[in-house]
């Protein structure tokens, strides 16, 4: 009997190692069909899941309460499974080189608990070659087993879009790959249990690894192009959103918009690709240029804030600036690699300590990662400048009475609104006489 059939018949289990924004939804979805062990080193996270709290806000508290996932921080529970999915983060170091310590650590843990006949599938974003050249040796060393003989390996890049309730796990085509035909077929069949959109069988593990970094690098470059345009249009006194709206009337327009590029994927993955390319003697021309532009957008926005404050006759060091949002994207609690921090740091250079509001973010995460103490929106008043930095629904749905209530009692021409995401109506703002700027 094949491993897939044993899993389907609940004779064998699936384990998911790493229960964050990627691993937890996968574990919950598989648990609707088969037996699942969900492992994470973070004991606090495990306890929250056990108590029915979805700290990622990806599937919701009800789904966590109802799931049959066996949540655990005891690594020996992994031994009860035969199909292992590794979904740990792969960040970058301060010098922009890949930090593979999480995936290496996860490989060590899985290796210590690996049994014969198992399949290990990595979902963590890596550059081509990591699964076979780095992960396999660790698994073999820790387990004493031989890859290809005692266990098989595969790679299936995560493509979840955090906070997106439309393009969910089940609705995104899953790229799968295996070390040989047999493992590829088994891996594909297992994922087909939960992926309604179907799977794409990549020709090799390296192809699947490359596809992930390539698709995110492509998106990063396209956003960088729009960001560069926005910087030029700003000098030309042309509204970028108006240009994009006109441009998008053509059928083959790509519909990208300028913005801050953070998070654990698009702002990170290109560096993985560039790192491996440079090891092979090729220096990136386009990808690094795009990264440079996108990494500089926080400073560009901060400088626009300072300029508008000066034009509104504000004393910059005394200005009360309120930043609405600190997560890396809208309707998501994830604060990792948020470029809002770049805005804050640049404002600090001008003597401004901005007030930061974010109803979605964890106050603990904001403090630990960026040293920011989040403030409740209802406690904000007498602002000189509002920075709509993240398009959370809570900010999108604010009416003009609510917005105006956050400012001090002075003329509208002295009230500065910075609209990073372009969520407000420029026509309405200009009618009201506010000092307005958007990316």
Residues 191 and 56 in one domain: yes
Task: Please tell me the distance from the alpha carbon of residue 70 to that of residue 46, in angstroms, as a whole number.
Answer: 10
Of 185, 203, 221, the residue that ends a domain is: 203
| 280 in a structural domain | no
Residues 19 and 152 in one domain: yes
| 249 in a structural domain | no
| 219 in a structural domain | no
| 180 in a structural domain | yes
- For the chain, the three-class secondary structure string (H helix, E strand, C coil) is CCHHHHHHCCCCEEEEECCCCCHHHHHHHHHCCCCEEEECCCHHHHHHHHCCCCCCCCCCHHHHHHCCCEEECCHHHHHHEEEEEECCCCCECCCCCECCHHHHHHHHHHHHCCCCCEEEEECCCCCCCHHHHHHHHHHHHHHCCCECCCEEEEECCCCCCCCCCCCCHHHCCEEEEECCHHHHHHHHHHHHCCCCCCEEECCCHHHHHHHHHHHHHHHHHHHHHHHHHHHHHHHHCCCHHHHHHHHCCCCCCCCCCCCCCCCCCCCCHHHHHHHHHHHCCCCCCCHHHHHHHHHCHHHHHHHHHHHHHHHCCCCHHHCCEEEECCCCCCCCCCCCCCCHHHHHHHHHHCCCCCEEECCCCCHHHHHHHHCCCECCHHHCCCECEEEECCCCHHHHCCCHHHHHHCECCCCHHHCEEEECCCCCCHHHHHHHCCEEEEC
Question: Which of 406, 377, 287, 296 is closest to 343 using CA atoms?
Answer: 296
Of 203, 219, 249, the residue that ends a domain is: 203
Residues 195 and 301 in one domain: no
How high is the pLDDT of residue 357? 97
Residues 191 and 311 in one domain: no
Residues 40 and 167 in one domain: yes
Residues 149 and 29 in one domain: yes
Task: Please tell me the distance from the alpha carbon of residue 408 to that of residue 404, in angstroms, as a whole number.
Answer: 8
How high is the pLDDT of residue 262? 85
Question: Which of 421, 426, 428 is closest to 392 using CA atoms?
Answer: 421
Boundaries of domain holding 35: 3-203
Task: Please tell me the distance from the alpha carbon of residue 78 to that of residue 84, in angstroms, as a whole number.
Answer: 8
Residues 308 and 195 in one domain: no
| 257 in a structural domain | no
How high is the pLDDT of residue 392? 95
From the list 135, 147, 265, 385, the catalytic residue is 265
Task: Please tell me the distance from the alpha carbon of residue 57 to that of residue 91, in angstroms, as a whole number.
Answer: 21
pLDDT digits (tens, 9 = 90+) for 317-365: 999 999 999 999 999 899 988 999 999 999 999 999 999 999 999 999 9
Name the stretches of the chain with pLDDT < 50.
none
How high is the pLDDT of residue 1? 67
CATH number of the domain where residue 163 is located: 3.40.50.720
| 53 in a structural domain | yes
- Number of independent structural domains in the chain: 2
265 assigned to active site: yes
Angle between helices 297-311 and 205-236 (to 10 degrees): 20
Tokens of 398: 């604010």
Residues 190 and 44 in one domain: yes
Dihedral of the alpha carbons of 28, 30, 34, 40, in degrees to the nearest 10: -60
How high is the pLDDT of residue 161? 74
Residues 185 and 43 in one domain: yes
pLDDT digits (tens, 9 = 90+) for 201-230: 999 999 999 999 999 999 999 999 999 999
Tokens 């609510």 correspond to 402
| 236 in a structural domain | no
Pairing of strands 416-419, 385-388: parallel
Residues 55 and 198 in one domain: yes
Residues 43 and 147 in one domain: yes
| 216 in a structural domain | no
Of 178, 203, 228, the residue that ends a domain is: 203
Residues 33 and 143 in one domain: yes
């Amino acid at each position: 009997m094949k491993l897939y059939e044993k899993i389907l018949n609940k004779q064998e289990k699936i384990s998911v190692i790493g229960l964050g924004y990627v691993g937890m939804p996968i574990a919950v979805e598989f648990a609707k069909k088969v037996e699942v062990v969900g492992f994470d080193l973070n004991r606090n996270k495990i306890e929250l899941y056990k108590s029915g709290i979805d700290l990622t806000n990806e599937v919701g508290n009800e789904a966590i309460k109802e799931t049959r996932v066996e949540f655990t921080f005891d690594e020996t529970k992994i031994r009860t499974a035969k199909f292992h999915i590794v979904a740990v983060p792969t960040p970058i170091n301060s010098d922009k080189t890949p930090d593979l310590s999480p995936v290496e650590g996860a490989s060590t843990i899985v290796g210590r608990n690996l049994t014969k006949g198992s399949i290990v599938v990595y979902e963590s974003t890596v550059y081509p070659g990591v699964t076979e050249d780095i992960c396999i040796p660790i698994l073999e060393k820790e387990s004493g087993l031989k890859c290809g003989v005692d266990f098989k390996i595969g790679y299936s890049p995560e493509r979840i879009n955090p906070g997106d309730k439309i393009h969910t796990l089940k609705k995104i085509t899953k790229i799968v790959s295996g070390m040989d035909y047999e493992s590829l077929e088994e891996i594909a069949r297992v994922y087909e249990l939960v992926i309604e959109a179907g799977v794409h069988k990549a020709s090799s593990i390296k192809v699947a690894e490359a596809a992930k970094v390539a698709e995110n690098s492509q998106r990063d470059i396209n956003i960088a192009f729009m960001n560069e345009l926005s910087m030029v249009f700003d000098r030309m006194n042309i509204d970028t959103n108006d240009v994009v709206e006109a441009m998008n009337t053509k059928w083959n327009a790509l519909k990208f918009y300028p913005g801050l590029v953070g998070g654990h994927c698009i702002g990170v993955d290109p560096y993985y690709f560039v790192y491996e390319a440079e090891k092979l003697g090729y220096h990136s021309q386009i990808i690094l240029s795009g990264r440079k532009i996108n990494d500089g957008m926080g400073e560009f926005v901060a400088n626009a804030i300072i300029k508008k404050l000066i034009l509104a006759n504000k004393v910059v060091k005394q200005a009360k600036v309120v930043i609405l949002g600190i997560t890396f994207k809208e309707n998501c609690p994830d604060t990792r690699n948020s470029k809002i921090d770049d805005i804050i740091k640049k404002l600090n250079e001008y003597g401004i300590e901005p007030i930061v509001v974010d109803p979605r973010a964890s106050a603990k995460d904001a403090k630990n990662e960026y040293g920011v103490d989040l403030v409740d929106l209802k406690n904000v008043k007498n602002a000189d400048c509002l920075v709509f930095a993240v398009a959370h629904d809570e900010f999108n749905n604010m009416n003009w009475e609510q917005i105006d209530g956050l400012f001090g009692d002075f003329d509208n021409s002295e009230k500065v609104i910075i609209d990073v995401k372009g969520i407000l109506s420029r026509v309405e703002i200009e009618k009201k006489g506010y000092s307005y700027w958007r990316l």
